[in-house]
């Protein structure tokens, strides 16, 4: 029965995706890379949410919530504000310029070399980090949550290899051969399933705690774990409260406003109104993210206490503990959809970046759109196979993968965000400033986090341990030894902006940059975008105040 439910929902998604894309001309760049610039608000919102939501969040963020409580909701609730910023500030400019990729703007604003460096940074991040991590975390989740080694009579590593290749092959079919519209439509259907499936876990979890009553379960959860419902993170927390006002917002704006794998959905909007509606809808749903990505971790702590060997076991254990057996097949299908979504979205964006920004520019300037699409597909197949070979090797990586990924991504996220922000807000900063900003950003952040940080933290820990200091006091010393990586991001962002502005003053462009309207789509804004945007920001502030010591004591 479980297998029938899993296969039934998975096949339904594939049929709907095929039916919705059967008339799309995917021999053109717009047709393949942007779904013919035809996406509507609901499709954009659904695809955005499911592209973001995968096993790194379901397992990683709930694992952090199991350890630290509701304060880790910053990764979700603050995303809503970043999406509003994207809807009001960035998307109108993207659609006015008729962009297919974010680096295209940088090519127009600065020069071809800047565009190429940025595309290479995006691709390196996807190939080395994102694609293999999505495959690996998905395979581990699927294998452990549904006990594939025992069911199939194979070893744990064999189940991971099998899951990686299963996810990779199916995801590649969507992303490489279906184009963006197939990805977006399948994401939308899976998003509905995942919202239902994701909300089922806290629902059944609270009912489990409350002996059948969800409200009684929630009351007992809050009363029994008051420390887990404090939104203000201490200096030793993974998200100290001060970082919300520094690097956290920069990371969020980069991810939702400039990351090709995400923003490509909004670039494919049929017009600015639909794009803004889709983003605002996504931001409203994102506020509800903690219900799926944080509360289950706290429920797991209440049920299991400190008995789990690793925090990342919290979500799979909770699912197996509280979910009725009759719903396991459906949940397996929506989990599979979430894993697929992150993989095929990153892969489709990689194909787009390579085809539009690299192949057309350097390998075949005279290539027809059909040739560019074909080259992109071949590159996508190569990337998918490479990622499927790399993914199982991540089993040897250290624990705490979610936080580690956020830190590593800073190598390219903040430098790219810096030159985009300066590019849009100034008119005479030259291309050389962008190149220096990119290179300095990558080099300085890498030195900071992978050389200076280990040195100062290691030295402080050695001194403290020699003095007999342990436990929470040692954690405080470690936190004070070097700035949090989100603070480092903010410092380098400001530094690079200043450097770029100084260069622009000393050696400005000969002509002011002017963003031309390409008339690809109608850019009349949605008249309610600002009102809804303000409402979302107020709700986010209210949530933080409600769960702060000001209210909870």
**How does residue 33 score in pLDDT terms, banded at 50, 70 and 90?**
very low
The residue that leads in pLDDT, 370 or 99, is: 99
pLDDT at 404: 62
**Exposure class string for 13-45: b at 16+ Cβ within 10 A, else e:** bbebbeebbeebebebbbbbbbbbbbbbbebbb
pLDDT at 350: 77
List, in order of start, the domains of the chain with CATH numbers. Answer: 2-14+31-401+523-552 (1.20.1730.10)
**What is the phi/psi pair of residue 343, to 5°?**
-70, -50
- CA distances to 160, 274, 512, 529 from 277, rounded to whole Å, are 39, 5, 32, 7
Q: Which two tokens stand for residue 352?
A: 């787009």
Q: Which two tokens stand for residue 234?
A: 């201490």
Place of tokens 């250290």: 398
The 3-state DSSP class for residue 271 equals strand
Residue 22 has pLDDT above 50, yes or no: no
Distance CA 471, CA 475 (A): 7
Place of tokens 């290479």: 120
Residue 551 has pLDDT above 70, yes or no: no
- CA distances to 97, 128, 159, 501 from 189, rounded to whole Å, are 30, 29, 27, 45
pTM: 0.81
- CA distances to 70, 162, 413 from 21, rounded to whole Å, are 40, 29, 32
Residue 29 has pLDDT above 50, yes or no: no
- CA distances to 48, 322, 408, 474, 482 from 68, rounded to whole Å, are 27, 22, 21, 17, 21
Give the tens place of pLDDT for each residue, 222-276: 999 988 999 888 878 888 999 999 999 999 999 899 887 788 778 888 899 999 9
Residue 467 has pLDDT above 60, yes or no: yes
- CA distances to 5, 7, 55, 184 from 14, rounded to whole Å, are 14, 11, 21, 12
pLDDT at 265: 76
**How does residue 298 score in pLDDT terms, banded at 50, 70 and 90?**
very high
Mean of the per-residue pLDDT values of the chain:
82
* Range name among 192-206, 489-503, 517-531, 535-549 with the lowest pLDDT average: 192-206
**How does residue 30 score in pLDDT terms, banded at 50, 70 and 90?**
very low
pLDDT at 521: 86
CB 135 within 8 A of CB 336: no
SS (H, E, C) 175-192: HHHHHHHHHHHHHHHHHH
pLDDT at 365: 76
* Range name among 99-113, 344-358, 373-387 with the lowest pLDDT average: 344-358
The 3-state DSSP class for residue 39 equals strand
């Amino acid at each position: 029965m479980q297998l029938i439910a899993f296969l039934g929902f998975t096949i339904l998604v594939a049929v709907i995706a095929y039916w919705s894309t059967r008339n799309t001309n995917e021999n053109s760049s717009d047709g393949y890379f942007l779904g013919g610039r035809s996406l509507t608000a609901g499709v954009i919102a659904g695809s955005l949410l499911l592209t973001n939501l995968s096993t790194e969040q379901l397992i990683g963020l709930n694992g952090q919530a199991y350890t630290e409580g509701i304060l880790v909701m910053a990764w979700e609730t603050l995303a809503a504000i970043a999406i509003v910023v994207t809807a009001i500030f960035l998307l109108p400019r993207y659609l006015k310029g008729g962009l297919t990729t974010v680096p295209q703007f940088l090519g127009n604003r600065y020069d071809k070399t800047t565009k190429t460096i940025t595309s290479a940074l995006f691709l390196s991040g996807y190939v080395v980090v994102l694609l293999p991590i999505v495959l690996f975390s998905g395979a581990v989740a699927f294998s452990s949550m549904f006990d594939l080694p025992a069911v199939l009579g194979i070893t744990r590593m064999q189940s991971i290899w099998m899951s990686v290749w299963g996810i990779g092959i199916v995801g590649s079919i969507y992303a490489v051969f279906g184009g963006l519209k197939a990805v977006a439509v399948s994401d939308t259907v899976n998003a509905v399933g995942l919202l239902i499936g994701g909300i089922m876990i806290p629902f059944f979890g609270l009912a489990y705690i409350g002996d059948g009553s969800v409200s009684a379960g929630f009351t007992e959860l809050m009363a029994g774990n008051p420390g887990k419902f404090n939104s203000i993170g201490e200096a030793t927390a993974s998200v100290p409260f001060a970082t919300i006002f520094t690097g956290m917002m920069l990371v969020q704006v980069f991810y939702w406003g400039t990351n090709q794998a995400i923003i490509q959905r909004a670039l494919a909007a049929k017009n600015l109104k639909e794009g803004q509606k889709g983003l605002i809808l996504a931001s409203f749903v994102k506020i509800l993210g903690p219900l799926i990505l944080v509360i289950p971790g706290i429920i797991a702590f209440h049920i299991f206490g400190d008995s789990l060997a690793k925090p990342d076991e919290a979500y799979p254990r909770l699912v197996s503990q509280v979910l009725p057996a009759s719903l396991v097949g459906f949940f397996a299908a929506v989990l599979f959809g979430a894993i697929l979504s992150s993989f095929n979205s990153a892969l489709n964006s990689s194909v787009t970046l390579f085809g539009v920004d690299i192949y057309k520019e350097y390998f075949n300037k005279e290539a027809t759109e059909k040739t560019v699409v074909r080259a992109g597909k071949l590159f996508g197949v190569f990337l998918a196979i490479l990622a499927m070979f790399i993914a199982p090797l991540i089993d040897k990586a250290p624990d705490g993968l979610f936080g580690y990924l956020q830190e590593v991504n800073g190598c390219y996220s903040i430098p790219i965000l810096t030159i985009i922000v300066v590019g849009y807000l100034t008119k005479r900063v030259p291309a050389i400033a962008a190149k220096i900003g990119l290179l300095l950003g990558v080099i300085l952040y890498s030195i900071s986090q992978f050389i200076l940080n280990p040195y100062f933290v290691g030295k402080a820990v050695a001194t403290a341990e020699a003095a007999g200091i342990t436990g929470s006091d040692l954690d405080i010393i470690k936190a004070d030894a070097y700035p949090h990586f989100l603070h480092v991001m903010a410092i380098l962002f400001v530094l690079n902006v200043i450097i770029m502005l100084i260069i622009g003053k000393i050696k400005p462009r000969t002509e002011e940059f002017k963003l031309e309207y390409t008339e690809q789509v109608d850019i009349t804004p949605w008249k309610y975008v600002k009102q809804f945007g303000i409402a979302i920001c107020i709700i986010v502030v209210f949530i933080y105040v409600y769960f702060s010591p000001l209210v909870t004591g």
